[in-house]
A and B are shown apart, each in its own frame.
Chain A
Amino acid sequence: MANDVAGTGRLAPHTRLDKRSVALRRLVVRALDGGGRGHVGSSLSLIEIMRVLYDDILRYRADQPDWEDRDRCILSKGHGCIAQYVMLAEKGFFPHDVLDTFCRRDSILGGHPEAGKIPGVEASTGALGHGLPIGVGRAMGLRMKGSDARVFVITGDGEINEGSVWEAALSAAKHRLSNLTVMIDYNKIQSAGPTAEILDLEPLADKWRAFRFGVAEVDGHDIDALRHVLTNLPVEADKPTAIICHTVKGKGLSFAENDPGWHHKSSIKKEVITEMYDALEML
C-alpha cells in the first residue's frame, strides 16, 4: 500500500504502526508540548528507524555513554532530534521527564542535538551535511584502532542536497568502510516542498551505487524490514552501506502526513497538542 506524496506522483509507504510505534509518537508529542515547538514531520518519519536501531541493532551502555566498544550513532539530520531523544529516554540515557524540558532555557535538549550535553549523542548536528564526513572519520578511526564497533549516520533527504555528503561518500567508498552505514530518511518532502520539485534526488539508489556503496531500499516504517536489512550489514562486502528508507513525513498524524507545512512548527497551542494525541488514538 502506498500513497501519493504531495501530488508529485511519488509513492510513500502506507504502513500500519504497532502499539510501540504509537507510544513512541506520544512521547514525541510530549516533547513538542514541553517546548511548544519542534520539527514535527521530520521527527515522525524517523521513529521506526531510530526504534529499530536502539531496540535491536546498536551496541551501547546507557549508564556508560562513552563506552569504547559502543556503536556510534550520528543523527546527521539534527532537526529530527526528538525521535532520538525519545529513544534515548526509552533506553535510560536520561529520564522521560527530561522530554518535557525540550528547548527550554536550561534544558539539555535543544532543538538540535549537542554532544557533551546529552548522554548518547555522538556529534552536535543541525547544520546539514556534517554527519557523514564525521562518520567517515570515526569509521576510519575505529578501523585504525582495531575496533569492531560500527558507525551509523542518519541523514535527511533535503540534507543530501549538500555537496559535503557526496564528498564524504567518495571518501567512504575509497576506503571501503564496511563498518559505516548511512540511512537516508527519504520522506520526499524537504522544508520548502517536495524533493521532486525543490532538488530532485532521483535516481537515488543508482546514485549511491555509482558512488560504490552497497545499497538497500526499505519501507522505513516496517519494523521487520528494517530489522532484516540492519542485521545483515554490510549489504555488500568491503563497501559502505546506504539504506534508503522510504518514509512518510509526519507519519502517524493524519493531518500532518506528507504536508510540508508540518516540517517545523512553533507556538504550538495546547489544542493542537490535544489534536495530535487524538490522531494517535485513531491509529
Chain B
Amino acid sequence: MRPTCVDKVFELAERDPRVAYIGSDLDPPLVKRMKQEMPGRAFMEGVSEQHIVGMSAGLAMEGFIPYVHTIATFITRRCYEQVAVDLCLHNLPVRLIGNGGGLVYAPLGPTHLAIEDIAIMRALPNMTVVSVCDADEMKRFMDQTLDWPGPIYIRLAKGFDPIVSRPELGFTIGKAIVMREAIGRDRVLLVSTGVATTRALDAATTLAAEGIECTVMHMHTVKPLDIEALLHHAGFARLIVTIEEHTLVGGLGSAVVDALIEHLPGAMPPVKRLGIPDVFAHKYGSQDQLMELYGLQPPAIAQTVRDGLQRRRAA
C-alpha cells in the first residue's frame, strides 16, 4: 500500500501539473526518483513537519495540489496546529500521507504508533479522513484525490497487506463499501476501516460457518462518514460491532455511535466497539501481535460477536 501510494503520486504528477510532492526525510531511492520523475515539483525538506505543512499550504494557495508524506505520528501530532490552521481553516487541497497508521511500527514503540491519528484528524472541520484496506483500493482512491476539495488525511498501513478489495465494488470517497452482505433477518453488522476490514472479513467467514451471518461494511472514509449506508444496514442489525486499529477514543467506533445516537434515537441496536484501549502500547513485537493483544484479530472479533448475541438472547 505504501509503495502504491507513492507510485500513484508520481503517476498523478505526470498527468497533472498541479501535483507536487513534499517529504520530510524519507528514503534515498525516493529522492533520486523525485529528481528523475518530478523535477522542480518534488521536495525533501528535512525533519521539519511544522514547516512542510505550512509550505504545502503556501503551494496550495498558489494553485498546486501538494502530497505531503512522512510518518503518521509526525504528520498528525507534531504539526497539529499547522494542519488545523494552515490546511483546514483555509480549506486547502493538501493531501497528508501518513506512513504506518495504527500499530504498524510496533517494534519502534509508542512514539511511532499512530493510534489516535483518526480521532485528532476527524476533529478538524473540513478534513477528510481515509484509511483504505489494501494496495488495489489505494489505487482506486488516489485517482479521486486530484479534485477532492479540501485537505485529506491518508492513513497508510504496513504495505503488502492481503488484497481483499474488489474492483467491481468501486470506490468513492465518503461512500462505504459493503464487502459482504448477510441475507435474511437477524443480521450482524461489522463496521471496520483500514486493514481491520481484512480481519472483519475473516471473522465473518468463520461465523458464517456457525450460522451467524454478518454484513461487513468497509468504512474507508471515516470522515465524512457515510451515515446513509450506516443507517440503512443498522436498521437490519441485531448487533453492531465496530473494529479499528485505533484508540477507542474518538475513532471509527465513536463516529458510528455518534451517528446512531443522533439518527436512531430509541431504536439503536446493541453496539460493541473493538479498538485499542486508552493506553500507550507497553509491548513491542509485530503489528499482528499487538492487534492480537488488543483483541483485533479475527478470532477475537468472532468471539465478540458470539458473546454479543448471547447477551442479547439472555436479555
Contacts and interface: CB of A to CB of B under 8 A. Distances in A.
Interface of A: 114-116, 122-124, 126-127, 129-130, 132-142, 144-145, 163-164, 167-168, 170-171
Contacts of A127: 81, 85
Interface of B: 20, 40-41, 43, 45-46, 48, 50-64, 66, 81-82, 85-86, 89-90
A150 to B, nearest CB: 13
A141 B51 CA distance: 15
Contacts of B43: 140
Contacts of A141: 58-59, 61-64
Give the secondary structure class of A's interface: helix
A137 B90 contact: no
Nearest to A114: B89
Contacts of B90: 115-116, 123-124
19 contacts: A115-B90, A123-B57, A123-B90, A126-B85, A130-B81, A133-B51, A133-B55, A134-B54, A134-B57, A136-B54, A138-B58, A138-B62, A144-B20, A144-B62, A164-B51, A164-B54, A164-B82, A170-B46, A170-B51
Contacts, number: 97
Nearest to B53: A133
Contacts of B57: 123, 133-134, 137
A135 B62 CA distance: 11
Contacts of B89: 114, 124
Given A124-B85, A124-B89, A127-B85, A171 B48 contact: yes
Contacts of A124: 85, 89-90
B63 A140 contact: no
A171 B55 contact: yes
B136 to A, nearest CB: 33
A118 to B, nearest CB: 13
A130 B85 contact: yes
A136 B82 CA distance: 14
A138 B55 CA distance: 7
Contacts of B61: 122-123, 134, 137-138, 141
A171 B66 CA distance: 16
